[in-house]
């Protein structure tokens, strides 16, 4: 065996030994987290849709041996969530629905580890409230991504009993995230609640005024640079209250935003740009 072959054997053996020895946190911090960051910097949606599965399989394999590792669970939920969103943008809706279940499954396990409760069918809303009350600021990432993975799956179950019951629980989780750290992940808990309250008119149980407050707060937190906020603001609130001017203003702001100014948000912002263009193209059918 040549020198290069020996070095490859040494490196691979070292990684395997590390995993077997229980130093998963080292692998997560030095290998997995940089890969997640790189995924979020991609602007080529087709590249993400075609290339991410190998990375996701690696995370699955690591979690098979470390099923309760919160750092890995958070990474898995975030990664499957991003990939599901990218698949939708790539026009692969059926595949996105399938993969959203993985985001949900990992998200629920993450919540279980964080809240010390059983699966989503194993606790009541009151039990959830009690468990959330014991959470601290350090739990905000687990709560947010656990709730996000669950909500992502629920959006494909619209109208089902599971979606109605589950969304109420996710609402309580996101409200707690706001209490603990409202600025976490660019104010995304505000983004969820803005969408949740703004997706229905007031006569059908919605809360348009509350929706607008949450969206405006999210935009203030992320300085209008996390473009999914503007898209959701337009698609839920502006469309629900029939405010065409606001609808077009928000979406044109997304279209005109330079991706290079926030490379760390490139993937989310690219997906938002594509959705904004689709919504603008159909504006006459909404108003």
**Do both 196 and 261 map to the same domain?**
yes
- pLDDT 10s digits, 211-221: 999 999 999 99
**Do both 36 and 161 map to the same domain?**
yes
Question: Is the predicted pLDDT of residue 163 greater than 80, yes or no?
Answer: no
Give the residue-averaged pLDDT of 8-31.
42
Q: Which long-range contacts (CB under 8 A, 24 or more apart) does 239-242 make?
A: 239/286, 240/198, 240/199, 240/200, 240/201, 240/206, 240/208, 240/211, 241/201, 241/208, 242/287
Give the residue-averaged pLDDT of 161-166.
76
Q: Which long-range contacts (CB under 8 A, 24 or more apart) does 256-261 make?
A: 257/225, 257/227, 259/43, 261/225
- Output 123 or 286, whichever has higher pLDDT: 286
Question: Residues, the chain, total?
Answer: 287
Question: Is the predicted pLDDT of residue 230 greater than 50, yes or no?
Answer: yes
Question: Is the predicted pLDDT of residue 20 greater than 60, yes or no?
Answer: no
**Do both 145 and 94 map to the same domain?**
yes
CATH of the domain at 43: 1.25.40.920
Q: What is the pLDDT of residue 210?
A: 96
Q: What is the pLDDT of residue 121?
A: 55
Residue 2 lies in a domain: no
Confidence of residue 201 (pLDDT cuts 50, 70, 90): confident
Q: What is the pLDDT of residue 145?
A: 96
**Do both 98 and 224 map to the same domain?**
no
Ramachandran assignment for 142, one of left (phi > 0), alpha (psi -120 to 50 degrees), beta (any other): alpha
Give the residue-averaged pLDDT of 258-273.
95
Domain end residue (candidates: 178, 198, 229): 178
Give the residue-averaged pLDDT of 260-266.
95
**Do both 151 and 221 map to the same domain?**
no
Q: Which of 174, 183, 187, 118 is nearest to 148 (CA)?
A: 174
Confidence of residue 165 (pLDDT cuts 50, 70, 90): confident
Domain end residue (candidates: 178, 194, 210): 178
Domain that holds residue 159: 27-178
**Do both 112 and 67 map to the same domain?**
yes
- Is the dihedral angle over the CA atoms 170, 104, 98, 215 positive or is it negative? positive
Task: State whether residue 120 is helix, strand or coil.
Answer: coil
- pLDDT 10s digits, 116-141: 886 655 688 999 999 999 999 999 99
- pLDDT 10s digits, 108-121: 999 999 998 866 55
**Do both 84 and 160 map to the same domain?**
yes
**Do both 81 and 51 map to the same domain?**
yes
Q: What is the 3-state secondary structure (H, E, C) of 166-217?
A: HHHHHHHHHHHHHHHHCCHHHHHHHHHHHHHHHCCCHHHCCCHHHHHHHHHH
Give the residue-averaged pLDDT of 200-221.
92
Residue 4 lies in a domain: no
- Output 132 or 37, whichever has higher pLDDT: 132
Q: Which of 90, 36, 34, 40 is nearest to 262 (CA)?
A: 40
Confidence of residue 30 (pLDDT cuts 50, 70, 90): low
**Do both 226 and 132 map to the same domain?**
no
- Output 35 or 199, whichever has higher pLDDT: 199
Task: List the end-to-end C-alpha distance of the chain, in Å, as a whole number.
Answer: 70
**Do both 111 and 189 map to the same domain?**
no
- pLDDT 10s digits, 62-91: 899 888 889 899 999 999 999 999 999 999
Residue 71 lies in a domain: yes
Give the residue-averaged pLDDT of 183-206.
91
Give the residue-averaged pLDDT of 5-18.
37
| Number of domains forming the structure of the chain | 2
Residue 266 lies in a domain: yes
Question: Is the predicted pLDDT of residue 42 greater than 90, yes or no?
Answer: no
**Do both 162 and 257 map to the same domain?**
no
Residue 230 lies in a domain: yes
Q: State the chain's mean pLDDT as an integer.
A: 86
**Do both 191 and 280 map to the same domain?**
yes
């Amino acid at each position: 065996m040549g020198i290069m072959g020996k070095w490859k054997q040494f490196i691979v053996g070292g990684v395997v030994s590390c995993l077997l020895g229980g130093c998963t946190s080292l692998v997560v911090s030095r290998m997995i987290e940089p890969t997640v960051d790189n995924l979020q910097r991609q602007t080529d949606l087709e590249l993400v849709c075609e290339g991410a599965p190998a990375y996701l399989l690696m995370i699955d394999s690591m979690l098979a041996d470390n099923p309760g590792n919160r750092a890995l669970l958070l990474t898995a939920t975030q990664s499957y969530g991003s990939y599901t969103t990218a698949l939708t943008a790539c026009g692969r809706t059926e595949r996105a629905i399938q993969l959203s279940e993985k985001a949900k499954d990992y998200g629920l396990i993450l919540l279980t580890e964080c809240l010390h409760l059983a699966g989503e069918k194993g606790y009541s809303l009151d039990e959830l409230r009690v468990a959330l009350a014991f959470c601290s600021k350090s739990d905000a990432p687990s709560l947010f991504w656990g709730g996000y993975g669950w909500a992502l799956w629920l959006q494909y179950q619209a109208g089902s009993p599971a979606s109605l019951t589950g969304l109420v629980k996710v609402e309580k989780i996101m409200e707690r995230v706001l209490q603990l750290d409202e600025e976490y992940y660019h104010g995304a808990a505000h983004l969820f609640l803005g969408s949740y309250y703004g997706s229905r008119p007031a006569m059908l149980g919605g809360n348009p005024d509350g929706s607008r407050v949450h969206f405006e707060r999210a935009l203030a937190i992320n300085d209008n640079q996390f473009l999914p906020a503007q898209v959701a603001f337009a698609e839920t609130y502006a469309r629900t209250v029939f405010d065409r001017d606001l609808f077009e203003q928000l979406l044109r702001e997304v279209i005109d935003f330079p991706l290079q100014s926030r490379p760390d948000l490139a993937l989310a912002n690219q997906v938002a740009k594509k959705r904004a263009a689709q919504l603008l193209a159909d504006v006459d059918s909404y108003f």
